[in-house]
Structure 1
Amino acid sequence: MSGDNPIPGNADRTVIIPTPGAARGTSTPPPAAGPAINSAALNERIELANGLNPLVNSAATLLTLMIKLRTTMQHANVPDLHKRLTNEIKTFESKTRNAGIASDSVIAARYLLCSVIDEVVLNTPWGASSGWSQHSLLSLFHQETSGGEKCFLILQRMLETPGTHLDILELFYICLSLGFQGKYRVVARGNEQIEQIRDNLYQTIENHRPVPAPELSPHWEGSVKPKRGMTNFIPLWVFASVVMAGLVLTYSGFRYWLYESTDPVATKISREITQPQTISEDVKLTEPDTERRFY
């Protein structure tokens, strides 16, 4: 949508229609109200270097102030708060432009942030009577008095090309998660519709945000060292000596076993040979009958 005005005109009445019959969303109730916010908390600046995306990083301080303002029951110096938030919006613009973010995304994000901050302040116990509505941030930067409806028109326009507007879509998702409702604050079943929009937005972001690599360096490969065997540590001659010693011991043991096993047999044979043999008288020496046949 480069070159187009990211903020639709009042004549464009297209709105996001939540899915009919959707299950009731689980809305997070606002935090319990707390004491007045002090000057130190207002002047605290949040710097993110590795946040969700460059647009959200630039809005970190404003998002933090939104959370703190939602929990305040009173504020003694509203003009000082207005000045502080005005300066933060300008700082946000400067950061985003220096980061090279597209102009249409910067304008849309500024419109969204002004609308969210105005809504947060006007829904505090002290906001309605502070005169903030006559000097709202939206009227100061965009010359409009209410952005509760147009924010969702911007969201729909960005959703037409989600792949090129993921940063602003993620900022929208954060603002919805922080409690921004816009026009749905005053309509029937507004909480359910907001939850449906937020869930659909989350799915869109998930479907288009690139999946991070599972490894820091997928193609990293360390130097491969060859495995070192025992021969790398023990000289070859030691192996040869051990083998030869084993063979000698085996041969010597075999000879000893053979001698011990055959000596009694050899002694007996020798004794039989040296002793004269006597023939019994009962034994008659006859010539073999070579003429005998088998019939």
Structure 2
Amino acid sequence: MSGLFNEEPTVVMRRSNFKAEQNEVAHESIKIDLTGAEHLIESLAIYGSPLLNAATELLGILVTISRQGSPLDIDRFRQSLIKAISAFRQKGVHLDYHPSIIEKSCFVICAAFDEAILYTSWGEKARWENHSLLSKTFSERNGGEVFFQLLDKASEQPAKLVDFIELQYVLLMLGFKGRYRHKEQTNLHEIKSDVYEILRHYRPESVLPTPKTPILPIEKEPWRMWSMRKLAALAGLLIVSGYVFSEYWYYNRSQTIIAQSQVIDKTSVSINDYTLEQQIEAENDNAGNALKESMMHNQMNAVNWEILLAVFSTSADANQLASVLNKSGYNTVLKQNEHGIELVIKASNDLSSIRKLNSELNVKFGLNATIRKAQK
């Protein structure tokens, strides 16, 4: 980080035109065990400051705010940021910092997120200032003012708070302006310069590594492209071969299909003759069945039928049911025999009418009436 403002001459680097030495070392496939690789980010140390290392995930999200579109669910996005800040606070508990430094770090990070989101089109449309991270986490709304107040106080004792100052410097370099957003930028540039001078005193200069030209592996030369004449000749040969093959295949298939169709025609003629005979026999059978049904129907209509409603042991019960049925419009008759007193409906030779009447009585009066031939 300290190398951002170095006044060093620009070094022009060009790739020299030389042929890399041939390397005939065989490349062996190496299998790497990636079990638990998802947890490596937790112990990844990018910066010299443990505070910045703990805030790496939040800084990565902050950088993408200005480039990403509107979240599908603003409330869910806000909760995810609050959860990430809580995770940063939990990491800070295990670091060698005073709890107030961790709280102030969470505060300045929330202020940076609120400002970055508020000045996006979707943040302004969603009215982010009404539900900002500072208001949710610290019940504060003047993060742009408090940020620089904390920076001034930390600059008074840089030896103890250099990591916190460095975190604020990174946030400033990522675009945080706070109370200077709508003011002259000269003061903000001076603050950045002063903070950089403080950090330069406590952070050693880092020398950038010199790039080395890698040894390129030997690759086979690509095939030379064919001329248009060769390609046209090859295409014509493929077309002619395909046409000849398709004609040969169609000829063999057609001969088989023609032979099968001839067999089918002969079979269909035999089937048609057999079907015609079956139809004639079926018509004769249907005519005989219709005649039989007509004769049976006439015989059934020649018989008188009656409906047996119930059998009673006492005349009082029989007369009571007969009275109910007679009032409903049914003509009933009481018959005395050795089984008891029978209550019946008068006889009729129309069997279909008798059946309808029987069903009607059973449904209407809950009887178990039956049809029988009329008793003399």
| Coarse TM-score class (shorter-chain normalised) | 0.5 to 0.7
Work out the CA distance in 1 between the residues paired with 2:204 and 2:62.
Answer: 29
Q: 1:176 aligns with which of 149, 172, 178?
A: 172
Instruction: Give the aligned partner of residue 77 of structure 1.
Output: 73
Q: Quote how far apart the aligned CAs of 1:63 are.
A: 0.6
Instruction: Give the aligned partner of residue 49 of structure 1.
Output: 45
Q: 1:65 aligns with which of 61, 86, 108?
A: 61
Task: Evaluate the alpha carbon distance shift between residue 169 and residue 92 of structure 1 in structure 2; reply closer, same or farther with a 3 A threshold.
Answer: same
Cα RMSD of the aligned pairs, angstroms, is 2.0
Alignment of 1:91-102 (within 5 A): 91-102=87-98
Q: Quote how far apart the aligned CAs of 1:46 are.
A: 5.3
Letter in 2 for 1:87: K
The answer (yes or no) to whether the contact 1:109–1:168 under 8 Å persists in 2 is yes
Work out the CA distance in 2 between the residues paired with 1:145 and 1:95.
Answer: 25
Q: 1:197 aligns with which of 184, 188, 191?
A: 191
Work out the CA distance in 2 between the residues paired with 1:138 and 1:121.
Answer: 12
The answer (yes or no) to whether the contact 1:173–1:202 under 8 Å persists in 2 is yes
Q: Quote how far apart the aligned CAs of 1:150 are.
A: 0.9
Instruction: Give the aligned partner of residue 160 of structure 2.
Output: 164
- Deviation string 1:214-241 (CA, Å, 9 cap, x unpaired) is xxxxxxxxxxxxxxxxxxxxxxxxxxxx
When Rg is computed on C-alpha atoms for both structures, the one with the higher figure is 2
Work out the CA distance in 2 between the residues paired with 1:137 and 1:79.
Answer: 11
Aligned-residue identity in percent: 30
Task: State the SS of the aligned residue for 1:126.
Answer: helix
TM-score with structure 1 length normalisation? 0.54
Alignment of 1:121-132 (within 5 A): 121-132=117-128
Task: Evaluate the alpha carbon distance shift between residue 50 and residue 179 of structure 1 in structure 2; reply closer, same or farther with a 3 A threshold.
Answer: closer
Is 2:197 the partner of 1:207? no
Q: Quote how far apart the aligned CAs of 1:77 are.
A: 1.6
- The one of the two structures with greater contact order (alpha-carbon pairs below 8 A, sep at least 6) is 1
Letter in 1 for 2:193: D
Work out the CA distance in 1 between the residues paired with 2:77 and 2:51.
Answer: 23
Alignment of 1:97-136 (within 5 A): 97-136=93-132
Structure 2: runs of 5+ lacking an equivalent: 1-39, 207-376
The answer (yes or no) to whether the contact 1:72–1:124 under 8 Å persists in 2 is no
Work out the CA distance in 2 between the residues paired with 1:70 and 1:192.
Answer: 23
Task: Evaluate the alpha carbon distance shift between residue 159 and residue 71 of structure 1 in structure 2; reply closer, same or farther with a 3 A threshold.
Answer: same
Q: Quote how far apart the aligned CAs of 1:95 are.
A: 0.4
Q: Quote how far apart the aligned CAs of 1:133 are.
A: 1.4
Work out the CA distance in 1 between the residues paired with 2:68 and 2:113.
Answer: 14
- Identify, as 1 or 2, the structure richer in helix: 2
Count how many residue pairs are aligned between Structure 1 and Structure 2: 167
- Deviation string 1:228-287 (CA, Å, 9 cap, x unpaired) is xxxxxxxxxxxxxxxxxxxxxxxxxxxxxxxxxxxxxxxxxxxxxxxxxxxxxxxxxxxx
